[in-house]
Amino acid sequence: MGGFLAILGHNYTCWLKFKGGKGIATSAGVVLALLPKALAVALIVWILLFLITRYVSVASIGAAFLLPFATWWFNREDLLLIIVAGIIGALAIYKHKANIKRLVNGTENRFGKKKEAAQ
């Protein structure tokens, strides 16, 4: 519960009028403590997707999507952990909604590609 609240606090901080980041680093820390094997799989998928697409957002969304499945694979007997992993993954994907819109529109920035000057 504490880890989940830490993720929510980073996503919706009261100091920024309940706006915040995407909580990916905080989510990774919580998942590292609870589900180290599932995190290792998600990290491998993150690296592969990043190397293939050069989009940090695609890699993060892909790893977040995979997280509950990897959790199920390593912890089939613990339904609570699978549900928590699903909630953490769904929240991470939800926080990427602006990135998803930019990906669909073809305006998302790739890592290492210089931004074009505004005209």
Q: What is the pLDDT of residue 8?
A: 85
Residues of the chain short of pLDDT 70, as ranges, are 114-119
Q: Which amino acid is at 45?
A: V
Q: What is the pLDDT of residue 16?
A: 76
Please give the share of the chain, as a percent, with pLDDT higher than 70.
95
pTM: 0.83
DSSP code of 12?
S
Q: What is the pLDDT of residue 80?
A: 93
Give the Å distances, CA to CA, from 25 to 6, 39, 63, 74, 76: 11, 12, 12, 22, 25
Per the CB < 8 A criterion, the answer to whether 20 and 11 are in contact is yes
Q: What is the pLDDT of residue 9?
A: 85
